[in-house]
């Protein structure tokens, strides 16, 4: 592909032309035929375009000379580099190489996002559940919808384990192109604040952008410097979409939509919302929790959801708004709400009619508090919370989660999560420090499987049991090794063992 085609819409300066054979003039650079687009010197091939990315721990500008020596024809930089004296490579200077990579990648794959209906979802919580709800609704309506998110990427019939919630821009554009090739007509994706900050979705004009909610998270080294920066990055989605569907009830809705360039449609419980909930009622059945509600405004609908609590209703509302905007029939919307389930997100595991057991990804104090307070509304006989905390992560999270579980659960089982390189007992001791601020009862069982066995063997009528922290993960990481461990399998195996022991 000609360099001029790759650089469409990108501002850049021609810094230097290759010296070999008289060099390349700026006027002639656009005619260069580029053979590949890469940002890793290990992937350099003759004739490629190499993009120098500055990362948290490594700056590829230091490898610009090596890339040129291996045959890179074009070097894209944002600051001065040293190239070999006899190189044929030309250097192009841009303001931000991550932004440039996104636009160049979109051009390289022939702008696949323009060939799809694109839905992007941002917010602190609810992104994963909402993406799956929307995909289910669109699939039931006859669309072939791809998915990009925390759990996995879905391209046609192919399911790929996710590494980033929102992939790097080149990988993202490649996935979108593969979706087009697989016959997809739409895609729904989680758009993280990190992705927006690092321009991973730059060059994509979303048909619909969604805002779920906002609370302090992802603030610290290598993430966001403060809450204002976190909110600003979330807001960027609403400068690159045609329709913004936003949670009017969230306290930060106005801040997130400040400077928006799209049409806005609001949802929530507020009477001023364009799509609003009325007649909410909670459902509790043996081994299952959910809710009934009606909607008014943009769409009148009676719905039943198979997940508990008000936050599940918010997720459903945003999905309803998207599906309606994309022309889905009401029956497809209702069916998806009633049946759709997301791995590791308030995932009910039916094992007994006397108690309810669920697996959830809540792995910080904010998410755990939201979950436990929601489950309190269902009036359990006891609310039992099993959790641990990850090693090699901020210790404050352990104190905070211990305090939250101590305050809101009737019984806490403190166990291991992913201890990584830390001593599991040391992590448990930190959690107990938070528990000590409360009157909450707790038991510590370091082995997670044995902890799960304990709560199931000692379950009482009417209990709601939460296995928190692991969610969709199917491994436990200990000392750099990921051992297979899927809580769904463990629960079913233990249930069978307990039945056989009766």
- pLDDT of the residue at 23: 59
Residues 117, 243: Cα–Cα separation, whole Å: 12
CB-count exposure of residue 12 (10 Å: 0-12, 13-18, 19+):
middle
Taking domain 347-501, whether its CATH number is 3.90.190.20 is answered by yes
Average pLDDT of span 86-95: 92
Give residue-wise pLDDT tens across range 129-177: 999 999 999 999 999 999 999 999 999 999 999 888 899 999 999 999 9
Instruction: Compute CA distances 231 → 241, 253, 287, whole Å.
Output: 17, 10, 38
CATH code given to domain 112-339:
3.40.1190.10
Helix spans in 1-116 (H): 3-6, 26-29, 64-69, 97-108
Of residues 248 and 284, the one with the higher pLDDT is 248
pLDDT band at 305 (very low <50, low <70, confident <90, very high): very high
DSSP letter assigned to residue 198: T
- Show the CA angle centred on residue 150, arms to residues 241 and 288, nearest 5°: 105
End-to-end CA distance of the chain: 69
CA nearest neighbour of 336 among 350, 348, 324: 324
pLDDT band at 229 (very low <50, low <70, confident <90, very high): confident
- 227 touches 255 (CB < 8 A): no
Please state the three-class secondary structure of 396-433 as a single string. Answer: HHHHHHHHHHHHHCCEEEECCCCCECCCHHHHHHHHHH
Residue 226: which residues within 8 A CB-CB, separation 6 or more?
219
Residues 130, 77: Cα–Cα separation, whole Å: 38
- pLDDT of the residue at 335: 92
CATH 3.90.190.20 in the chain is located at 347-501
CA nearest neighbour of 162 among 376, 474, 502, 417: 474
The bridge status of strand 186-190 relative to strand 158-161 is unpaired
pLDDT band at 21 (very low <50, low <70, confident <90, very high): very low
- 363 touches 390 (CB < 8 A): yes
| Overall residue count recorded for the chain in this entry | 502
Long-range contacts of 18-22 (CB under 8 A, 24+ apart): 18/87, 18/88, 18/89, 18/90, 19/85, 19/86, 19/87, 19/88, 20/86, 20/87, 20/88, 21/88
- 352 touches 287 (CB < 8 A): yes
pLDDT higher than 80, residue 234: yes
pLDDT higher than 70, residue 5: yes
The H or E element that residue 295 is part of is strand 288-297
CA nearest neighbour of 290 among 356, 353, 364: 356
Give residue-wise pLDDT tens across range 166-198: 999 999 999 999 999 999 999 999 999 889 989
Residues 480, 225: Cα–Cα separation, whole Å: 29
- pLDDT of the residue at 227: 79
**297 phi-psi bin (left φ>0, alpha ψ -120 to 50, beta other):** left
Residues 228, 219: Cα–Cα separation, whole Å: 10
CATH 3.40.1190.10 in the chain is located at 112-339
Average pLDDT of span 452-480: 95
Residue 327 has a CB neighbour count (10 Å cut-off) of 10
The bridge status of strand 145-148 relative to strand 117-122 is unpaired
Give residue-wise pLDDT tens across range 334-391: 999 998 788 899 999 999 989 999 999 999 898 899 999 999 999 999 999 999 999 9
pLDDT higher than 80, residue 11: yes
The H or E element that residue 313 is part of is helix 310-325
The bridge status of strand 152-155 relative to strand 158-161 is antiparallel
pLDDT band at 25 (very low <50, low <70, confident <90, very high): low
pLDDT higher than 80, residue 286: no
What is the value of pTM for the model shown? 0.88
Residues 76, 170: Cα–Cα separation, whole Å: 15
Q: Which CATH superfamily is domain 3-108 in?
A: MurE/MurF, N-terminal domain (3.40.1390.10)
The H or E element that residue 176 is part of is helix 169-181
pLDDT higher than 90, residue 224: no
């Amino acid at each position: 592909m000609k360099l001029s085609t790759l650089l469409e819409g990108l501002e850049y300066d021609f810094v230097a032309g290759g010296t070999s054979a008289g060099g390349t003039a700026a006027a002639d650079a656009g005619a260069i035929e580029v053979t590949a687009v890469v940002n890793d010197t290990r992937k350099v091939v003759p004739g490629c375009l190499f993009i120098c990315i500055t990362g948290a721990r490594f700056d590829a500008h230091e490898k610009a000379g090596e890339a040129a020596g291996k045959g890179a024809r074009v070097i894209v930089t944002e600051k001065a580099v040293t190239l070999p004296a006899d190189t044929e490579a030309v250097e192009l200077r841009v303001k931000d190489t991550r932004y440039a990579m996104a636009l160049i990648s979109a051009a390289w794959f022939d702008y696949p996002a323009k060939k799809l209906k694109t839905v992007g979802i941002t917010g602190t919580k609810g992104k994963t559940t909402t993406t799956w709800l929307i995909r289910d609704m669109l699939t039931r309506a006859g669309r072939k919808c791809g998915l990009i998110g925390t759990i996995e990427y879905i391209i046609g019939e192919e399911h790929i384990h996710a590494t980033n919630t929102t992939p790097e821009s080149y990988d993202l554009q490649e996935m979108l192109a593969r979706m087009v090739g697989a016959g997809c007509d739409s895609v729904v994706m989680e758009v993280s604040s990190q992705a927006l900050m690092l321009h991973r979705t730059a060059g994509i004009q979303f048909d619909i952008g969604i805002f779920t909610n906002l609370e302090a998270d992802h603030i610290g080294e290598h993430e966001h410097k403060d809450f204002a920066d976190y909110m600003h990055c979330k807001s960027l989605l609403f400068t690159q979409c045609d329709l913004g569907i936003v949670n009017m009830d969230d306290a930060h809705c106005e801040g997130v939509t400040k400077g928006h360039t799209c049409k806005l449609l609001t949802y929530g419980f507020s009477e001023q919302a364009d799509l609003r909930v009325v007649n909410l009622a909670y459902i509790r059945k043996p081994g299952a929790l959910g809710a009934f509600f009606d909607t008014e405004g943009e769409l009148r609908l009676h719905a039943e959801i198979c997940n508990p609590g008000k936050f599940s209703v918010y997720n459903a509302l945003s999905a309803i708004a998207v599906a309606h905007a994309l022309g889905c029939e009401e029956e497809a919307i209702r069916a998806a709400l009633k049946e759709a389930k997301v791995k590791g997100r308030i995932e009910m595991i039916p094992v007994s009619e006397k108690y309810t057991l669920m697996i959830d990804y809540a792995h910080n104090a904010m998410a755990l508090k939201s979950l436990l307070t929601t489950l309190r509304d269902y009036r359990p006989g006891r609310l039992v919370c099993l959790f641990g905390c990850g090693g090699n992560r901020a210790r404050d999270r352990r104190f905070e989660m211990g305090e939250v579980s101590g305050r809101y659960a009737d019984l806490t089982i403190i166990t291991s999560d992913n201890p990584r390189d830390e001593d599991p007992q040391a992590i448990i001791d930190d959690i107990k420090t938070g528990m000590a601020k409360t009157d909450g009862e707790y038991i510590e069982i370091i082995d997670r499987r044995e902890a799960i066995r304990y709560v199931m063997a000692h379950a009482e009528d009417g209990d709601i049991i939460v296995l928190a922290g692991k969610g969709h993960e199917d491994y436990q990481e200990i000392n750099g090794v990921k051992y297979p461990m899927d809580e769904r399998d463990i629960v079913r195996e233990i249930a069978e063992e307990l039945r056989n022991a009766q």
